[in-house]
Amino acid sequence: MFSSAASADQQRTTLPDEHGHFGRFGGRFMPEALIAPLDELERAWREAKQDPTFVNELDRMFREYANLPSPLYEASRLSERVGARVLLKREDLNHTGAHKIRNVLGQALLTRRMGKRRVIAETGAGQHGVASATACAYLDLECVVYMGEVDTERQALNVARMKMLGATVIPVTTGSRTLKDAINEALRDWVSTVDDTHYLLGTAAGAHPFPEIVRDLTRGIGDEARAQVHELTGALPDAAAACVGGGSNAIGLFTAFLEDADVRLYGFEAGGDGFDTGRHAATITAGDVGVLHGTRSYLLQDEDGQTIESHSISAGLDYPGVGPEHAYLAETGRVSYEPVTDDEAMAAFDLLCKTEGIIPAIESAHAVAGALRIVPTLTAELGRTPTILVNLSGRGDKDAHTAATYFGLLSEEDA
């Protein structure tokens, strides 16, 4: 829930610093025109999260509308199979099928609080677009979603979903016509409409204060799970794992555990076809430090600093940048970031389907795959069966076609 996050946040000093930096990462690399609006957003957010009226209202929305807190589920058959006690944080059971509902409800409520009536959002495969359209329908806000033209063609069903929910979808025809260009176009819209429009950024990246806002809104994942694991097992988990694209579900999981030195934290990036192919989205493990979309972090770039397109079977991880707090947590060594290839993720996807009757989002399958990989090391280190908390960030309905194609389950005319 949100209230636990709001109170936890007051008890300790957290990054970012007053300039929006996480160590040498983060900050604001933005046109000056957007700096005052970003300052206003920062003020509005910090006031809102201290205001009991806002906190209670968001908690009510989380509870009544989004089906939160999400349950913790002991995956017994999977555990037996892999030799670890695997606990799944079931964000896949949330309304709209992923952790993203936390972020969009929070930012949509903030939009209303700021007296704005219009929301713009970017989307890759359409998940954040659908979530934003949902929150805007629920809170009576106008919603405009920018989506790369390549993605609107690949994800026609999600375009239809957004339209059903009353949103306007604008195909982006510039640049590579994918997620990063959708973000560019949303920023171009925002710079001329900022008086009445909120940019509902979908991940814990972008210019300050976005990484902070998105983390605050998603950290309920870890706060809830920490208490749930403790109640179930009488202890904290030995490790917690999440997939990392931009990094919103991962930062949401990790934040609660950052000061628990005995809890190992793992972020699994999209290794795509593998490093040697150059076709991946493993920003931290294979990228370099640079500036993209308003923040300094790791990114995939060529030797001239031009952004390189990322590749992953999972649309939600297919982004050439990553949130700045993850860059910081990687540099300080608090979190280990490792790549998981498409094939590894799909093997874990299959295993979870067959052992637990849960079809995960392919994004979340990366977290499951990574968690299984660390079992032997962890077991050796601890000298006992480890307990691993995995954030099952979303459900796989949206990926049915991709997965069916991958596993060769479609007849030729269906595929």
Partner 1 sequence: MTALSDTLARVRAEGRPALVGYLPTGFPDKQTAIDAMVAMVEGGVDIVEVGLPYSDPVMDGPTIQKAADAALRAGFRVADVFDTVEAVAATGAPTLVMTYWNPVERMGVDGFAARLAAAGGAGLITPDLIPDEASEWIESSTTHGLDRVFLVAPSSTDERIAMTAQASSGFLYATSVMGVTGSRTATSSAAPTLVGRVKQVSDIPVGVGLGVSNGDQAAEVGAFADAVIVGSALVARLLEAGSDTTAGIASVRALAEDLRAGVERARTAPDQTSADKGALA
For 86, the enclosing helix (H) or strand (E) is strand 85-90
The residue among 179 and 225 lying less far from partner 1, judged by its C-beta, is 179
Shortest separation between residue 237's beta carbon and partner 1, angstroms? 38
For 291, the enclosing helix (H) or strand (E) is strand 288-292
User: What is the gyration radius of the CA atoms in the chain, in angstroms?
Assistant: 20
Catalytic residue among 248, 314, 393, 398: 393
Clarify whether 116 is annotated catalytic: no
**At which residue do the structure tokens 């890759």 appear?**
124
Span interacting with partner 1, options 70-78, 272-280, 298-306, 381-389, rule CB under 8 A: 298-306
Q: Which two tokens stand for residue 379?
A: 């077991």
Shortest separation between residue 113's beta carbon and partner 1, angstroms? 20
137 interacts with partner 1 by CB under 8 A: no
Query: Do 129 and 123 touch, CB atoms closer than 8 A?
Result: yes
**At which residue do the structure tokens 């989004």 appear?**
66
**Distance from the first to the final alpha carbon of the chain:** 40
Query: Do 102 and 128 touch, CB atoms closer than 8 A?
Result: no
Identity of the amino acid at 130:
V
The residue among 9 and 122 lying less far from partner 1, judged by its C-beta, is 122
Length of the chain: 415
The residue among 13 and 192 lying less far from partner 1, judged by its C-beta, is 192
53 interacts with partner 1 by CB under 8 A: no
Clarify whether 393 is annotated catalytic: yes
Alpha-carbon distance values, 187 to 182, 183, 200, 232, 293 (Å): 9, 6, 11, 44, 9
Window 174-193: residues binding partner 1 (CB under 8 A):
174-175, 180-181, 184, 187-188, 191-192
| From candidates 231, 259, 276, 304, binder to partner 1 by CB under 8 A | 304
Window 192-251: residues binding partner 1 (CB under 8 A):
192, 194-195
Catalytic residue among 89, 100, 116, 398: 100
| 377/122 Cα distance (integer angstroms) | 39
Q: Which two tokens stand for residue 285?
A: 């493990």
Catalytic residue among 91, 122, 269, 356: 122
Give the contact letters, 16-45, x = binds to partner 1 (CB under 8 A), - = no: ---x-------xxxxxxxxxxx-x------
Clarify whether 100 is annotated catalytic: yes
Write out the residues near partner 1 by the rule CB under 8 A.
19, 27-37, 39, 174-175, 180-181, 184, 187-188, 191-192, 194-195, 288, 290-294, 301, 303-307
**Which residues are identified as catalytic?**
100, 122, 393
